[in-house]
Amino acid sequence: MFSSVVRLDEAEAGIFQITMEDRANRNMFSGELIAGLRSAFAEIDANPDGKAVILTGYDSYFASGGTRESLLSLHEGRARFTDLDVYSLALNCKIPVISAMQGHGIGGGFVLGLFSDIVILSLESVYNTNFMKYGFTPGFGSTLIVPRKLGMSLAQEMLLSAGSYRGAELQKRGVPFPVLPRNEVLEHAYGVARQLAEKPRISLITLKDHLTASLRRELPEVVQQELDMHTKTFFQDEVRDRIMNLFGN
């Protein structure tokens, strides 16, 4: 047990599994979950033998984004989403990260998974970028990573409408990821991880660094643009009302 809500296991030689299991908060970004994720990725980066990471959730939840309290802190100007940079942990990890999104990916939770190098979705689960549901513009680097991973047309629809999509629907819409029955997602992730683990570590690190260079270069500017939009959209009374009345619905 790595922490009370995040487990880190070296499941096989060179393959780490990070399991998010904050059942009390349905894997929302509680302080404990964020701290556990940051510590887990730091430990992996310090390990000289790692070759692949599998990031997954529990039961029907992958990750569910910000808590109501954290959204209210943003609305009140007491915090910014950049204060604890959780969204780019997978991007900045030295070795490849596979998001085995066996469960629902909600808002920032879905974005967290998209920042991985390889993404696997489940047919049954719900995925969305629900920021605009609460009346504020998207954050977490979502305006960069969602179009990059899903394509501009689908990304614009998801970001603007804040609609929810089953994995089966996203599969029909042509998302470029495997979309499998929930009980097959983790097994498929291990198959991919074993393929990665056959390669030399230095080669994996070097290629990931090259493949993600443009994304890491662009991300800070986009995040600043998202913060600028938040100064226009997050402090509306309607946003607070929506957070209080719609959260969890």
Domains and CATH numbers, the chain: 6-183 (3.90.226.10)
119 forms beta bridges with 99
Tens-place pLDDT, residues 16-59: 999 999 999 999 999 999 999 999 999 999 999 999 999 999 99
Return the pLDDT at 2.
62
Distance CA(15)–CA(202), nearest Å, equals: 15
The active-site residue out of 75, 104, 210, 230 is 230
165's enclosing H/E stretch is strand 164-166
120's enclosing H/E stretch is strand 118-122
Return the pLDDT at 84.
78
Distance CA(19)–CA(58), nearest Å, equals: 7
Phi-psi region of 117 (alpha: psi -120 to 50; beta: other; left: phi over 0): alpha
More confident: 169 or 249: 169
Average pLDDT, rounded, for the chain: 96
Q: Is the pLDDT of residue 232 over 90?
A: yes
pTM: 0.96
210 catalytic, yes or no?
no
Q: How many CB atoms lie under 10 A from the CB of residue 157?
A: 14
